[in-house]
Amino acid sequence: MSDLQSVDEANFDQVVLGADKPVLVDFWAEWCPPCHQIVPVLAQIAEERKDRLSVVKLNSDENPSISSRYRVMALPTLMLFHHGELIWSVVGARPKAKLLKELDDALLTAV
């Protein structure tokens, strides 16, 4: 799907919850057109913000326990974790500028 790092049930807690910096998780599925639509935006954000933010993807169909844990009901769902806590989430694809504004706002309130 992309060169974004994938996480799964085996490494989610370590990679996402144990991270030193904020982690944006893209909950997606192969059958979801908007999930594929948002990938280029997430890849750009991952590259542009790599010093301050990690971006990973989690296939919801292949990792149902994590999707269930965070009550993911629609795809794509983006969730931002910081210091092991969920601090922000949004459902659906959105333009890059809007997503960056929402991420920046969430990170400002989390500090």
68 is catalytic: no
Closest-CA residue to 32 (of 75, 85, 69): 75
35 is catalytic: yes
- Among 4, 35, 72, 103, the one annotated catalytic: 35
C-alpha torsion sign, points 2, 9, 54, 60: positive
- Among 29, 32, 87, 107, the one annotated catalytic: 32
Q: Are 80 and 87 in contact (CB under 8 A)?
A: yes
Burial of 107 (0-12, 13-18, 19+ CB in 10 A): middle
Residues that are catalytic: 32, 35
